Amino acid sequence: MESFEFSTELVPGLPNELGLECLTRLPYTAHRLASGVCHRWRDFFQSPDFHYHRKKLGYTQKVACLVQAFSGGTVNGPKRPGELPSYGISVFESLNRGWYRLPPVPKYPNGLPLFCQLASCEEKLVVMGGWNPVSYDPVADVFIYDFTTQQWRQGKDMPSKRSFFAIGACSGRVYIAGGHDENKNALRTAWVYDLRKDEWDQLGELSKERDECEGVVIGEDEFWVVSGYGTERQGQFDGSADVYEFKSGEWRVAEGIWEPGQCPRSSVGIGKGGKLMNWAELNTAVRVGARGIMLGGRVLVTGSEYQGGPHGFYMVEVKEGQIGKLEKINVPDEFSGFVQSGCFVEI
């Protein structure tokens, strides 16, 4: 961004260095309004360079985006017995402890695809896969929410329909691996989605089938596909991981990094020394359905004390890999529903 040349003043009456500084300091909630000032500002605020410039100067903010059941499990009235609840995306701002809901995806106005997966790239939220909320059939849909324009757009479909797969993102790309196909056969395949090009490329295969695995990106170096199980080993979660190295483009296997038999879905965290940890083991208050979203030096942790119990929301400080104590936070009733999965978005 520093090499970006302006043919006219960015802000009339100010040197471009000061104009750039002023616009960089605007909170992300003002970007949509500012983008409407002129075409030049619109292109400026929507530029990936602007995001990286804000990130370099420390003006970005990490928010938690959660796939969450609507309060009471309803969207348009009560559900029928046995019918799954409807889900939307809730946003938690850790700085002011504020909550709000994103507008629904136009294709699914009454609730997101069930068990869809989230990732974030360059101030954008990416939603992939899941089950059609009406027919329960797997879908290959890809949707991108732009926090600057506050609008959804549809991306190129996943190469094939898959469910319960690992997902992670780094440097404008989203990585997916494992899961199972429409016939519930566990998968070894992996793909990468380029957000800017709207294109998919296949990666090498995993060392083994990994259904219900979990994806974790460590730094800007590796994508970990943690645990999972094969088609013939339903529910027998493995203790290893397949690790994709971004620089070399090669896979390697990491053994003994997860407790065999434990489901890793949304509960994998990074603890002391960069080792993987299970958020469910942090405290008995979140031992059921634990989810952890890293927000810089703090983590939003959700979960229940027992099956069917009320969902709790907590903040935890992380310093040099040391995990602090749970701090319970008050949550408005409409945002107290079960959290299925989530990720952070740096805006």
What is the per-residue pLDDT for 209? 97
Angle of CA points 88, 98, 105, to nearest 5°: 20
Give the pLDDT mean for 46-65: 80
Alpha carbons 263 and 251: distance in angstroms, whole number: 22
What is the per-residue pLDDT for 71? 54
Give the pLDDT mean for 259-274: 86
| CB 113 within 8 Å of CB 161 | no
Query: Can you tell me whether residue 284 is helix, strand or coil?
Result: helix
| Structure-model confidence comparison of residues 143 and 9, the more confident one | 143
The position carrying tokens 């602007």 is 50
What is the per-residue pLDDT for 76? 43
Alpha carbons 28 and 308: distance in angstroms, whole number: 37
Query: Can you tell me whether residue 271 is helix, strand or coil?
Result: coil
* C-alpha closest to that of 202 among 163, 251, 264: 251
| Dihedral angle, C-alpha 103, 108, 109, 115, nearest 10 ° | -70
146-151 long-range Cβ contacts below 8 angstroms, 24+ apart? 146/46, 147/28, 147/31, 147/123, 147/345, 147/347, 148/28, 148/31, 148/32, 148/35, 148/45, 148/46, 148/123, 149/32, 149/35, 149/46, 150/32, 150/103
What is the per-residue pLDDT for 8? 62
The residues near 164 (Cβ < 8 Å, ≥ 6 apart) are 115, 179, 180, 211, 212, 213, 265
CA distances from 31 to 24, 36, 122, 303, 343 (A): 10, 9, 14, 33, 22
pLDDT at 1 over 60: no
| Structure-model confidence comparison of residues 134 and 323, the more confident one | 134
What is the per-residue pLDDT for 74? 40
pLDDT at 320 over 70: no
- Cα radius of gyration rounded to whole Å, the chain: 20
Domain boundaries, the chain: 16-57, 62-71+85-346
Rounded to the nearest integer, the mean pLDDT of the chain is: 88
The position carrying tokens 């983008």 is 35
| Structure-model confidence comparison of residues 159 and 22, the more confident one | 159
What is the per-residue pLDDT for 82? 56
pLDDT at 139 over 90: yes
| Fold classified for 62-71+85-346 | Neuraminidase (2.120.10)
User: For residue 216, what are its two tokens?
Assistant: 């974790």
* C-alpha closest to that of 169 among 131, 224, 113: 224
Alpha carbons 240 and 227: distance in angstroms, whole number: 5
pLDDT at 45 over 90: no
Give the pLDDT mean for 138-145: 97
| CB 164 within 8 Å of CB 181 | no
pLDDT at 338 over 60: yes
Which DSSP letter does residue 320 get? T
The 10s digit of each residue's pLDDT in 59-88 is 778 899 999 998 544 444 445 555 668 999
Give the pLDDT mean for 42-53: 77
E strands, 227-338, in order: 241-245, 250-254, 268-270, 276-278, 288-295, 298-304, 312-319, 322-323, 327-328
Alpha carbons 187 and 66: distance in angstroms, whole number: 26
The 10s digit of each residue's pLDDT in 172-218 is 999 999 999 999 999 999 999 999 999 999 999 999 999 999 999 99
